[in-house]
Structure 1
């Protein structure tokens, strides 16, 4: 059928666009959605994910709730100032009620069962904190053999959005991020802020989405608080779709250009906590290190912007151009 995909998510407005992107793509076999705390509390992220799948008429997709907090230290704050009190600009109640009950047993159990049952490696797109994925790798040794790629929205090479050093998803659980990115158990693709900031969509793009039909209109209706925040960041009427950029790469490998480099996550409890440290030196320069065999992560560094924005709009509206 195409890409076999699991999304791990904390909806979140940009998560909503990412979930819809996968749910509406005919070349995606969306095997499951798992939820994690993050932009808002777990109860809200989980209900949002269920309602978004109901909007896309995808009651065939199982949903399980995962971690409600980070592995080690508490999450200092959530992102409700940006995403609204319910994660969807305070407008989650415009979405249909969930069409399917949650799967019992939790996210890690669902992830493991879906992966073990798959007849080919599965891509996982974690677009929230990496707590569920770290727990999966810890609880199920060898499960990485069933995972094709882990396409992560997270990190920042230059500066963060939550602190000067750290991007929100990685900052929320640096210990989990270090386990996933540097553990060597899975092939990781990291889609950082440096790229997603350049992939912002504008008011004209959103107007086309809203005019496309009920699903597009509902997605646009979830954006006001988020869009208001990004007007101040961007300086024009538009918004970031961070998570949808990562899911686009999960669906169509190569739509983002990547470079393979070692990535470490700063886990100390200081001002650099949650920073993603990508070693951009040449392999020759790295060869003199004490550990030159460091795990490599494919870090997304560029894309054809117009092509990506068209891809997103075509998939979300169902109207190829």
Structure 2
């Protein structure tokens, strides 16, 4: 049975790969895509989402614009230095012009209509800041029963990227992230930097993608700025497909190995702001009682078959 999926996104090069992965997978019913501020501003992320879906021949998928800023405090910075000024290495205009208009009811309106209409649990894959998801859960708690799980890309166990402690998506709106990861009881899978960096792909992988189809060639053409950034970060020629790793788990539950851990989000204004604090102590050491699990437990992705995951993503993108 196809996975019913909604993607919440801030495209972004890795978001473009993630959207394409879902859009081209025959075992996915992509119900909708919602945009959020993040790598670039909301107008650009929304336009990029529409164009990526058009590239994949999926103008049937509705797209709605969501939050343009965080819940409380201004976004510290965007990620144009990684993704390019338009989010797609300055090449968004090379993608086809979308035929579909943005949904008039906005992201929350689209979430509500899709979840209300769903006759089985829906997976939500937030791969940008968690602002839209926090608003949805706060405003429509009755719809939580329609959500099978939330599979999000964000956070870090032992590292950050925007700061030494914080990953970009969480750092962009820590208050929203805390609402989703700590205060709510919807099943969550957190796919952190620690794992996504293990799943980096090299230029040989990108060459296979580019040679396989016009869609693959178009996705590869979006990577120059991203590749240059990760050449500095990794120390070799490759890119990290953060968001595609999370969407792979949303599509194929269990492709990532997870462990249950309580997670806290640092919402202070010190050097740890935006950090995800993953409590890896044994339950007995957390004062929860023998064998108990904290109510705010999150399934944290910790491992995968790296080569197998790379082949999974490449295979779906080159069908």
Q: Aligned partners of 1:102, 1:197: CA distance in 2, in Å? A: 33
Q: How does 1:1-321 map to 2 (within 5 A)?
A: 1-287=1-287, 293-318=294-319
The Cα of 1:191 is off from its aligned counterpart by: 0.1
Judge conservation of contact 1:286–1:292 (CA < 8 Å) in 2: no
User: TM-score, structure 2 length as denominator?
Assistant: 0.98
Q: Aligned partners of 2:314, 2:65: CA distance in 1, in Å? A: 29
Judge conservation of contact 1:9–1:33 (CA < 8 Å) in 2: yes
What is the CA deviation profile of residues 122-176 of structure 1, one whole-angstrom value per residue up to 9, with x for unaligned ones?
A: 0000000000000000110221100001000000111200011100000000000
Runs of 4+ in 1 over 4 A off after TM superposition: none
Unaligned runs of 5+ in 2: none
RMSD: 1.1
What is the CA deviation profile of residues 230-275 of structure 1, one whole-angstrom value per residue up to 9, with x for unaligned ones?
A: 0111111110000000000000000000000100100011111000
Q: Aligned partners of 1:299, 1:192: CA distance in 2, in Å? A: 7
Q: Aligned partners of 1:261, 1:8: CA distance in 2, in Å? A: 24
Judge conservation of contact 2:197–2:240 (CA < 8 Å) in 1: yes
The Cα of 1:185 is off from its aligned counterpart by: 2.9
Residues 277-286 or 28-37, more deviating: 277-286
Q: Aligned partners of 1:63, 1:316: CA distance in 2, in Å? A: 21
Equivalent pairs counted in the alignment come to 317
The Cα of 1:292 is off from its aligned counterpart by: 7.1
The Cα of 1:288 is off from its aligned counterpart by: 5.4
The Cα of 1:294 is off from its aligned counterpart by: 3.6
Judge conservation of contact 2:185–2:296 (CA < 8 Å) in 1: no
Q: Aligned partners of 1:295, 1:41: CA distance in 2, in Å? A: 31
Judge conservation of contact 2:66–2:107 (CA < 8 Å) in 1: yes
Q: Aligned partners of 1:249, 1:119: CA distance in 2, in Å? A: 22
Q: Aligned partners of 1:123, 1:14: CA distance in 2, in Å? A: 19
Q: Aligned partners of 1:288, 1:30: CA distance in 2, in Å? A: 39
Judge conservation of contact 1:210–1:218 (CA < 8 Å) in 2: yes
User: TM-score, structure 1 length as denominator?
Assistant: 0.97
Q: Aligned partners of 2:185, 2:134: CA distance in 1, in Å? A: 10
Tell me the SS of whatever aligns to 1:156. Answer: coil
Tell me the SS of whatever aligns to 2:212. Answer: coil
Q: Aligned partners of 2:224, 2:165: CA distance in 1, in Å? A: 27
